[in-house]
Chains A and B, each alone.
Chain A
């Protein structure tokens, strides 16, 4: 789990930061709350003071003293408390201890009293009556403290809930991210370790990880396909080159015998040529597939090319007991392409038709053009190719004859397909009802 260290550290840092900000938030709430309460209390005390001063002026000092004493008697422990002293500071009414703590200086003050061993904190507004007495309007700080505590408690609960919720959300989100990226990482490791079948798990939610996973899986599938292709090619190459080499070896043994020498040498020569031709064809396919051959493109008359190629293969069809027809345009038809490769591709299609369509079959070579394509069509009435095999016969070295009794390298259709690809088209293999119809489709640029 060492590779998750960094994300966890990040998580702890986040939790620490949220605790700090929680503390800061509480402190701010406390300070602001205190300020609000204090200014409200001061304003209320001021209003009370104005009221008592007015009362004293209109109804006399005695009425004020009377009211204060009555208030002290029925005091329920909440609200303001009062005290009054004469001009010399002698208590006249109310809570006497306040004067001890404060003196007669006017203003909003904090006082601490010891009454009966009980310590009390007060917020007091000290004022003076027109007749010289001092008026104390006090609020017991216990009430304020209780209110502040309630405020803090509520804030703590709310902030703790928010912090807990966001921490849980963060942990869930991080572990989700870690799990999803972990799948991708595990897959990459498995691939690196050689297991090309490994795939990223996707959940079909269509989220960004599913899309990433699907894209990676598509890439992996393509790589695996290419690797399998490479393996098949290597295997087939080894297999196909053993045959001519074994033939050469046999021929050389026969050549020891003077009577057979000429025949044997001819056989060895033919086998060597076979092997060399296989290599040339492989190189041509590879170059055409990668588009390197594009530099050799030129403008040429494709009708003349098809006519030449048709003429070249015509006797082969006659020898195979087949009927060969070609229906080509009368005038020249200029296209841009790789003439040599195209000739080879068409030759391969004709050669395949004459080899596989069987005796009595009819083979036709036609051309057709649309706005975007130029098609060269070789159709036969032979046995055709089962639909399931039509895709793979276009690959290198794929031959449908498992015993490989017929001649050929298995590269013919691969060259045709690569040629079509180089020309911006594709090789289509279709059912001719009966037989095979091979369409060499070239793009017209």
Chain B
């Protein structure tokens, strides 16, 4: 990683804060911590961060109000909302207020890390003029919707193309099952995460099985990653 990325965590619960800060620092991020909404707003507006992890309910000023205030002040920093309110409506509200992603407590650090990486990458890669995506010898022609590996044409179904495109756009990064459900299918219902595995195994059968070197890797307990190296 180039220069250390700066992450702001706004979280009043000390246990969660310690857990997240430890994870962020181990990953090499520079992490700042605010314990209430007002401090969070002050820090976020007075210095530059690469991403903000914002608890939904913090003292002083409610998380969603902080986000609205930041967006009103033209601060475009990507924001992940953490919330103990797990229901669907809260997610809708959070995203409407200007949050970029929404994670329900309790969560594993790996899930937060994967989502954070996803957001950090999204910001600079605004160039949507690409016509093809690739990973090693796997090529995806976005115009003709054709996929080849080592020059050999692969016959993929539309739903498989959609999934592969997502992996290619998140190349070398961890993608969790819930991220796939939410971002590929806009579906948020945890008991059906096993449905993701059936999609992955089908995709893998087509892009990996006939070839020596696998590209789509399973990360135990976390999710998947498309990369040349395991």
Whether A296 pairs with B159 at a CB distance below 8 angstroms is: no
Binds A, one of B57-65, B83-91, B119-127: B83-91
A266 to B108, CA, bound (A): 13
Number of chain B interface residues as a range: 20 to 34
Give chain A nearest CB distance to B94 CB in angstroms: 11
Assuming the contacts A266-B221, A309-B187, A338-B88, asked whether A351 and B192 have C-beta atoms less than 8 A apart, the reply is yes
A212 close to chain B: CB less than 8 A: no
Whether B159 pairs with A313 at a CB distance below 8 angstroms is: no
Total contacts A to B, CB within 8 angstroms?
Answer: 89
Question: Which chain A positions have C-beta within 8 A of B206?
Answer: none
A281 close to chain B: CB less than 8 A: yes
**For chain A residues 295-349, which have a beta carbon within 8 Å of chain B?**
295-296, 308-309, 311-316, 319, 338-341, 343-344, 347-348
**B195: contacting residue among A283, A313, A339, CB under 8 A:** A313
A265 to B222, CA, bound (A): 11
Give chain A nearest CB distance to B204 CB in angstroms: 12
**For chain B residues 112-167, which have a beta carbon within 8 Å of chain A?**
158-159, 162
Assuming the contacts A262-B220, A269-B221, asked whether A340 and B91 have C-beta atoms less than 8 A apart, the reply is yes
**A280: contacting residue among B104, B162, B195, B221, CB under 8 A:** B104
Question: Which chain B positions have C-beta within 8 A of A351?
Answer: 192, 195
A308 to B91, CA, bound (A): 20
B22 close to chain A: CB less than 8 A: no
Question: Which chain A positions have C-beta within 8 A of B199?
Answer: 312, 315
A129 to B169, CA, bound (A): 145
Whether B220 pairs with A274 at a CB distance below 8 angstroms is: no
Whether B186 pairs with A343 at a CB distance below 8 angstroms is: yes
**For chain B residues 67-101, which have a beta carbon within 8 Å of chain A?**
86-89, 91-93
B185 close to chain A: CB less than 8 A: yes
Whether B202 pairs with A315 at a CB distance below 8 angstroms is: yes
Assuming the contacts A277-B190, A280-B190, asked whether A315 and B86 have C-beta atoms less than 8 A apart, the reply is no
B210 close to chain A: CB less than 8 A: no
Give chain A nearest CB distance to B165 CB in angstroms: 14
Question: Which chain A positions have C-beta within 8 A of B193?
Answer: 273
B198 close to chain A: CB less than 8 A: yes
Question: Which chain B positions have C-beta within 8 A of A293?
Answer: 87-89
A34 close to chain B: CB less than 8 A: no
A287 to B195, CA, bound (A): 26
How many chain-A residues does the 8 Å CB contact rule pick out?
A: 39
A407 to B191, CA, bound (A): 9
A276 close to chain B: CB less than 8 A: yes
**B188: contacting residue among A311, A344, A407, A409, CB under 8 A:** A344
Whether B186 pairs with A280 at a CB distance below 8 angstroms is: no
Whether A273 pairs with B192 at a CB distance below 8 angstroms is: no
Question: Which chain A positions have C-beta within 8 A of B221?
Answer: 265-266, 269
Whether A347 pairs with B86 at a CB distance below 8 angstroms is: no
Give chain B nearest CB distance to A413 CB in angstroms: 13
Closest to A317 in B: B198
A279 close to chain B: CB less than 8 A: yes
Closest to B199 in A: A315
Closest to A340 in B: B88
Closest to B91 in A: A340
**B189: contacting residue among A266, A308, A311, A347, CB under 8 A:** A347
Closest to A415 in B: B189
Whether A273 pairs with B190 at a CB distance below 8 angstroms is: yes
A248 to B77, CA, bound (A): 38
Closest to B88 in A: A340
Give chain A nearest CB distance to B222 CB in angstroms: 9
Whether B191 pairs with A409 at a CB distance below 8 angstroms is: yes
CB-defined interface of A242-286 with B at 8 Å, one 1/0 digit per residue?
Answer: 000000000000000000001001100100011011011101100
Whether A279 pairs with B220 at a CB distance below 8 angstroms is: no
Spell out B's residues near A (CB within 8 Å).
Answer: 86-89, 91-93, 104, 106, 108, 158-159, 162, 181, 185-193, 195, 198-199, 202, 220-221
Q: What are 9 contact pairs spanning A and B, CB under 8 A? A: A269-B221, A281-B189, A283-B87, A295-B89, A296-B93, A340-B188, A341-B88, A344-B189, A407-B191
In the A-B complex, the 9 residue pairs with the smallest Cβ-Cβ separation, listed nearest first, are: A277-B190, A315-B198, A311-B159, A296-B92, A280-B86, A296-B89, A340-B88, A283-B87, A277-B191
